[in-house]
Amino acid sequence: MRIALFTETFLPKVDGIVTRLSHTVDHLQRMGDQVMVFSPDGGLREYKGAKICGIPGFPLPLYPELKLALPRPSIRQILEDFNPDLIHIVNPAVLGLGGLYYAKSLDVPLVASYHTHLPKYLEHYGLGMLEGMLWELLKALHNQAQINLCTSTAMQEALTSHGIERVEVWQKGVDTELFRPELASQAVRSHLSQGHPESPILLYVGRLSAEKEIDRIKPVLEAIPNARLALVGDGPYRQDLEKHFEGTATHFVGYLTGEDLGAAFASADAFIFPSRTETLGLVLLEAMAAGCPVIAANAGGIPDIVTDGVNGYLFDPDDEQGAIAATHRLLENQIEREVLRRNARLEAEKWGWAAATRQLQDFYQSVLAAGVMPSAA
């Protein structure tokens, strides 16, 4: 198959969507497919044999790390030369609309996938009154695709309940070779804790942005005086968080990648994740692969990954004491913590990227077999 992938974010940016897409492109190419990626220009022209067509963009005002790239007329000729069997638009917003347009005008089957729960993000940026309008826009856009993929059963239910049709779950995946318990080390614990490796280390990995609700970790830290918090990542909310956590044992580590990131997961005592807006929470699966017990909000797609009391702990996000109680329980019972570590790793081992990509290929083949584009909703 020849697949044209339109995405609003790609390498060298680091986030869960880019992780999924980069592994997917790699495995599609390995399996004999040809992929062309259309994304905001990040300086790359090729990845794992796939050509990258970078489109000049400008920073999103509310989130400067993201770029908005406007579709250009030159895309049509590039697409015609590539002659794709189908077009896959990822989190379609601006560039994705170009993918939709060219799928229609070139009569190429269309696949769409939903990875970021944008309607729920709005309330964290003071725009909650626009949620209904955004759902209508998403419905109008996604219902022009022959299949809509999402990353958890919770998101499948949310999309379907808002009138989006033909929704299927694209299974999760994780790199179990990179993220593994053997990478744990005292040196990394010392780095994460700023020289206090003997203290309980709580870890967060991900974007430092308002919708991640990282500020909700502070009461946990205050309730366990000897605990240390390591925040791995960066984002538009970093300065606010630095002020919020001022005076606490919090280390803003910055970005980590590769085995450095794997070692951070493996070396921490608990991975804490308060976000209520996750479509899946890929980072949780990475933590579990590294044998790091997870404490997470019982919301969104997270229950698809974490089974409370088996491979991690879930807490009621509306209960201010929930995360505190779960963290106390985890840190105070070493035997139970070790059981959670083993079970977390066993769960992650079920979800390799090769299997997730084969499932995606099956979705693609079903679209090609159908052959007829649906009418717009």
What total number of domains does the chain contain?
2
User: What is the radius of gyration, based on Cα positions, of the chain?
Assistant: 21
Which pLDDT value is given to residue 213?
94
| Burial grade of 353 (CB within 10 A; 0-12, 13-18, 19 or more) | buried
Tell me how far apart the 2 most distant CA atoms of the chain are, in Å.
62
Residue 54: count other Cβ atoms within 10 Å of its Cβ.
17
% of the chain residues with pLDDT over 70: 93
More confident residue, 225 or 285: 285
Are 327 and 311 in the same domain? Answer: yes
Residue 261: count other Cβ atoms within 10 Å of its Cβ.
22
Residue 377 has pLDDT above 60, yes or no: no
Judge whether 68 lies within some domain.
Answer: yes
Judge whether 377 lies within some domain.
Answer: no
Are 274 and 298 in the same domain? Answer: yes
Tokens of 96: 């994705």
Task: Calculate the CA dihedral of residues 21, 27, 33, 39 and round it to 10 degrees.
Answer: 20
Are 148 and 9 in the same domain? Answer: yes
Residue 38 has pLDDT above 50, yes or no: yes
Task: Calculate the CA dihedral of residues 157, 158, 162, 163 and round it to 10 degrees.
Answer: -40
% of the chain residues with pLDDT over 90: 76
The CA–CA distances, whole Å, from 99 to 39, 73, 74, 142, 229 equal 11, 12, 13, 12, 42
Residue 23 has pLDDT above 60, yes or no: yes
Are 161 and 23 in the same domain? Answer: yes
Tokens of 377: 């909703």
Tokens of 78: 């590039």
Which pLDDT value is given to residue 276?
87
Which pLDDT value is given to residue 376?
38
Are 356 and 344 in the same domain? Answer: no
Give the Cα separation of 370 and 134 in Å (integer): 29
Residue 270 has pLDDT above 50, yes or no: yes
- Helix intervals (H) in the chain: 16-30, 74-82, 95-105, 118-121, 131-142, 153-161, 186-192, 218-223, 238-244, 258-267, 282-289, 322-332, 334-348, 353-370
Domain that includes residue 241, residue range: 181-348
Cβ contact 328:345 at 8 Å: no
Which pLDDT value is given to residue 252?
98
pLDDT tens digits for range 129-174: 777 788 899 999 999 999 999 988 888 999 999 999 999 999 989 9
Which pLDDT value is given to residue 26?
96
Segment among 107-111, 136-140, 278-282, 311-315 with least mean pLDDT: 278-282
Which pLDDT value is given to residue 316?
95
Are 279 and 361 in the same domain? Answer: no
DSSP letters spanning 237-249: THHHHHHHTTTSS
Are 320 and 362 in the same domain? Answer: no
Say which CATH number the domain at 321 has. 3.40.50.2000
**Mean pLDDT for all residues in the chain:** 91
Segment among 121-130, 170-179, 296-305, 333-342 with least mean pLDDT: 121-130
Judge whether 78 lies within some domain.
Answer: yes
Arithmetic mean of pLDDT, 324-352 = 93
CA-nearest of 99, 97, 63, 71 to 84 is: 99
Arithmetic mean of pLDDT, 204-219 = 94
Cβ contact 70:95 at 8 Å: yes
Arithmetic mean of pLDDT, 249-272 = 97
Which pLDDT value is given to residue 65?
66
Judge whether 376 lies within some domain.
Answer: no
Are 191 and 112 in the same domain? Answer: no
Are 290 and 357 in the same domain? Answer: no
Are 32 and 158 in the same domain? Answer: yes
Give the Cα separation of 217 and 229 in Å (integer): 9
Give the Cα separation of 62 and 59 in Å (integer): 9
| Residue 79, helix vs strand vs coil | helix
Which pLDDT value is given to residue 300?
86
Interstrand relation of 46-47 and 270-273 (parallel, antiparallel or unpaired) = unpaired
